[in-house]
Structure 1
Amino acid sequence: MPSATSRRFRIGIGGMAIESSQFCPHRSAYDDFRVTRGAALLDRYAWTRPDGELAELVEWVPLVHAVAVPGGPVERATYERIKDELTGRIRESGPLDGLVYDIHGAMSVVGLDDAEADLTDAVRAATGPGTLISAAMDLHGNVSRRFAAQLDLLTAHRMAPHEDAWLTRERAARKLVGRLVRGTGRPHRAWVQIPVLLPGEKTSTRREPAASLYGRLASVEALDGVVDAALWVGYAWADEERCRAAVVVTADDPELAVAQAGSLARAYWDARRDFVFVGPTGDADACIARAVASPARPFLISDSGDNPTAGGAGDLAHMLGRLLAHEELASGRVTALHPGITDPEAVAACFDAGTGAEVTLFVGGRFSAGTGPYAQPCELTGTVTALEDAVAPGSGGRRENPAYDGRGRSAAVTRGGVTVVLTERRRPFHTRADFGSLDPLAYDLVVVKIGYLEPELHAMAADWLLALTPGAVDQDLLRLGHHKVLRPLYPFDDEGFEEPDLTPELL
């Protein structure tokens, strides 16, 4: 530990985080990112407080951090702009003892095959070999060898939904500070990929076998000589060789790292056929029929194929069309709230018309038109029942994405028993506050563009179903058309699949 007269360790903080479906027609541009610098960047984290316990040890150096709502691949110019700023600020900051690298791990960039590896190569070149880099990642990220080899420490969330996201970042920071304080330098990293690629809705830690697999990580981390243990399920909606599950065990004892990484990889491989969806499933019509017939209220349905927080376009009106086609909903005998279809033109038309006006709109398909029959706009004649200038900030703590910061207008239109929320910008509805003036508890059904339910939605639901709807994040991976993933790969290949070599490699 430095003395009171010695310099504190200089640790930079920065990164770029987005989850990008390569099957999504949307392209993520610079304006889709919330870019944070200076004091505002340090304010993102509780452990950077000037009165915190690490303040005596560390001089935190804010670089730049960019985060966006998941969507389509990032435009190359946008990526290069953010990469250049990050690496430029690293060079301008002077020598850094460490870097907390706050990323996601499933970023796709137009024209790149491994965006995180490209970014990390540039970051390592900027820091030089003497800086310890500690990455905090989403468990839905991809971990190629090229990417992992440039890092000194890397860890990932251990919960899905990601209720431990901020704990993961703090763990990455504290592990880094601990290495610097003890002077133990770069640990060994045992890395292995597993030829399995599953959607997040089949790997939620609310269900087995993910609950037990992720539950093992803390006990591995607690072993003498181990620094960290991490398991990634990979990102199912990109089409690259790196897309697959992975394990990294970081340790001062290389043999222990290899043994534990191999054991975790084997357990994941052996459990590959045991993963099931986090909730009961059906197609759109079956889920709507079951929800209407159920006495449970509110009954939530996930429109999973167009989930914007997994990389969906968020503009598909497929589920809206199926809701309007159901007689009980069309007549108003049963009510449903369906947020939120991204359609800035429709929102503008509603604002022009005003609350209480009747409008005829062609809703949806602003990004996805022409990508399939499910992407056709839906004709909607109804009454404008609510207009919101912005989404009120929630009360659930820090917000990850620009959509959570009150940006963008929305309009509610009601036809029969169905109220649809149209949004100016792509954004999720995860908390009660995200619904603005509309009360989801006042409706029989709430149909949200999401996969597994986030905590507030989960607590709200009297019952729920996961609708296996089409879209850029379709849960049926085999109908999406992957052709660049490294084969064989489960579930694309199963029968006759030879046992893979799961021997970890020391980096």
Structure 2
Amino acid sequence: MTSPTGRRLRIGIGGMSIESSQFCPHRATYDDFRVTRKSALLDRYTWTRPDDGLTERVEWVPLVHAVSLPGGPVERATYDRIKTELTGLIRESGPLDGLVYDIHGAMSVVGLVDAEADLTEAVRAATGPDTLISAAMDLHGNVSRRFAEPLDLLTAHRLAPHEDAWETRERAARKLVERLVSGRGRPHRAWVQVPVLLPGEKTSTRLEPAASLYGRLASVEALDGVVDAAVWVGYAWADEERCRAAVVVTADDPELAVDRARSLAQEYWDVRRDFVFVGPTGDADECIARAVGSTARPFLISDSGDNPTAGGVGDLAYMLGRLLAHEELASGRVTALHPGITDPPAVAACFAAGVGAEVTLRVGGQVSAGTGPHAEPYELTGTVTALEGAAVPGSGAPRGNPAYDDGGRTAAVTRGGVTVVLTERRKPFHTRADFGTLDPREFDLVVVKIGYLEPELHEMAADWLLALTPGGVDQDLLRLGHHKVARPLYPFDDEGFEDPDLTPVLL
């Protein structure tokens, strides 16, 4: 089966993806992005392979895709460089029937408002009006009308944690091909924003009400005349008018699209006060005390305010200081592993000293110092207990989460019962492989810079707590200082907040 004209469809693939906290002092540069082109870009997806039925109908045209670990806003020169390459390749590729647009939705760029809208307008100008564009997005993205208008199809993850991230991209591709093969042209998109802005740790689909809300999407999509249904919770750590929840229902039947979008938006509004944190919470000292006093091992604690996979810097030593302030941990009677403080000079000092050497370091604050008392370096004297990375002869340790950068070299330093892992580059610790030769299951406590636990950590944890720590992705939104979001907006406004007009707009 091919296009209505009998030829194979020409569909481009490209995009730019990062989650950017505007409360984070980090700035993303070109070196922070993993840029993929040509055959390597096709290899990124399973549905572009020769044995996939889609490829019989489609000539895939790889453009460029750039993805970065979340962080602060993108430097303008970096954004312009990637945008120029993407739009230039679109123009050079010749006429495209479609474009699979692989983005995040929560990118901020220095000097721009609504960066994804700016990029999407440029992409649409490059493709021309006849190309159908299908966007695959993170549910933590923002969907302004300006952004959605140039798109023909847009969908988002339906699970948080995002165990369906690759499934979402495949859905965007297959829906696009189906649309082009059918010859039905552009569908209607019913778009509505909901004046609610919550952190991801309060909207996990592991719990109600998000489980039921997102669970409805497949049944809406299955209705005759509906193409897709998606709900975005928005991105809580940016400060722009677009930051809020949104619903888009895509359909051939405009009345049905409006009706289902209104229903989903109303449900979101009605349950706004029912969203709760995905796990028990407390401040740093409360969580440490409860973990030390528990018999559950390993006991995991999320250092949520400095989570690099939500947009935190990952260089705060705040939790390290709180761990060593606890007598049981400082004495070594209880052990803790705290991975992921980014500090290249400290790593270099550890490599120079060698395993077994005693070192005195000022840990953390390489980027964040000066942004508050929680961001100051911590003076640590301890023993180098592990070195890993390319510069270690014979090191066969796993090199990190393949979704992000490998973190470069890492160094473990132990003081009392606390072992801290220092990294050269910003790095998440989501899987067993990310820990290298250190086995987190051998420690009483594991304190990770993360929000809700990713699947492998969730399975590993005998128990866990979400520590409401300070940082660029502080869970307490009211203390961050938003002042550009459109008001009224829950939870910034609650009492006396009249029910909003949730009538969808047909795009």
**TM-score of Structure 1 vs Structure 2, range by shorter chain:** over 0.9
Quote the residue 1:215 is aligned against.
215
Quote the residue 2:393 is aligned against.
none
CA contact (8 A) 2:365 2:377 kept: yes
CA contact (8 A) 2:350 2:411 kept: yes
* Whole-angstrom distance in 1 between the partners of 2:449 and 2:407: 19
- 1:322 is aligned to 2:325: no
State the AA in 1 paired with 2:467. Answer: A
1:7 positional shift: 2.3
- 1:400 is aligned to 2:403: yes
Distance 1:382 1:167, change over 3 A: same
1:421 positional shift: 0.2
* Whole-angstrom distance in 2 between the partners of 1:3 and 1:344: 53
* Whole-angstrom distance in 1 between the partners of 2:382 and 2:403: 34
CA contact (8 A) 2:338 2:448 kept: yes
- 1:35 is aligned to 2:35: yes
Quote the residue 2:69 is aligned against.
69
CA contact (8 A) 2:339 2:420 kept: yes
* Whole-angstrom distance in 1 between the partners of 2:418 and 2:403: 30
1:2 positional shift: 2.3
Quote the residue 1:226 is aligned against.
226
CA contact (8 A) 2:12 2:61 kept: yes
CA contact (8 A) 1:13 1:102 kept: yes
Quote the residue 2:105 is aligned against.
105
CA contact (8 A) 1:330 1:418 kept: yes
Q: Deviations over 1:316-345 (max 9, x none)?
A: 000000000000000000000001100001
Quote the residue 1:449 is aligned against.
449
1:400 positional shift: 2.6
Q: Deviations over 1:389-418 (max 9, x none)?
A: 156246x8xx332x2xx3511100000000
CA contact (8 A) 1:306 1:312 kept: yes
Q: Deviations over 1:87-128 (max 9, x none)?
A: 000000000000000000000000001000000000000000
How many residue pairs match? The answer is 501
Unaligned 5+ residue runs, structure 1? Answer: none
CA contact (8 A) 1:67 1:400 kept: no
Quote the residue 2:167 is aligned against.
167
Q: Find the residue that maps to 1:54 and give its secondary structure.
A: helix
Alignment of 1:32-181 (within 5 A): 32-181=32-181
Quote the residue 1:409 is aligned against.
409
Quote the residue 1:302 is aligned against.
302
State the AA in 2 paired with 1:248. Answer: V
- 1:344 is aligned to 2:344: yes
CA contact (8 A) 1:364 1:378 kept: yes
Unaligned 5+ residue runs, structure 2? Answer: 391-396
Q: Find the residue that maps to 1:301 and give its secondary structure.
A: strand
State the AA in 2 paired with 1:171. Answer: R
Q: How many percent of aligned residue pairs carry the same amino acid?
A: 85
State the AA in 1 paired with 2:350. Answer: C
1:296 positional shift: 0.2
* Whole-angstrom distance in 2 between the partners of 1:55 and 1:124: 24
1:268 positional shift: 0.1
1:4 positional shift: 12
Distance 1:466 1:3, change over 3 A: closer
* Whole-angstrom distance in 1 between the partners of 2:258 and 2:85: 37
- TM-score, with structure 2 as normaliser: 0.98
1:6 positional shift: 3.8
State the AA in 2 paired with 1:353. Answer: A
CA contact (8 A) 1:135 1:151 kept: yes
* Whole-angstrom distance in 1 between the partners of 2:3 and 2:303: 56
* Whole-angstrom distance in 1 between the partners of 2:109 and 2:360: 37
* Whole-angstrom distance in 1 between the partners of 2:5 and 2:505: 42
1:499 positional shift: 1.1
CA contact (8 A) 1:279 1:464 kept: yes
Aligned alpha-carbon RMSD (Å): 1.2
- TM-score, with structure 1 as normaliser: 0.98
1:3 positional shift: 8.2
- 1:481 is aligned to 2:484: no
* Whole-angstrom distance in 2 between the partners of 1:114 and 1:2: 37
Q: Deviations over 1:226-267 (max 9, x none)?
A: 000000000000000000000000000000000000000000
* Whole-angstrom distance in 2 between the partners of 1:2 and 1:337: 55
* Whole-angstrom distance in 1 between the partners of 2:161 and 2:399: 20
State the AA in 1 paired with 2:157. Answer: H
Alignment of 1:283-294 (within 5 A): 283-294=283-294
Distance 1:131 1:330, change over 3 A: same
Moved more, 110-119 or 5-14: 5-14
Quote the residue 1:189 is aligned against.
189
Quote the residue 2:499 is aligned against.
499
* Whole-angstrom distance in 2 between the partners of 1:171 and 1:121: 23
CA contact (8 A) 2:399 2:436 kept: no
CA contact (8 A) 2:301 2:447 kept: yes
* Whole-angstrom distance in 1 between the partners of 2:335 and 2:495: 46
Q: Deviations over 1:322-379 (max 9, x none)?
A: 0000000000000000011000010011011111100000000111111000001001
State the AA in 2 paired with 1:400. Answer: A
Distance 1:333 1:3, change over 3 A: closer
Q: Find the residue that maps to 2:499 and give its secondary structure.
A: coil
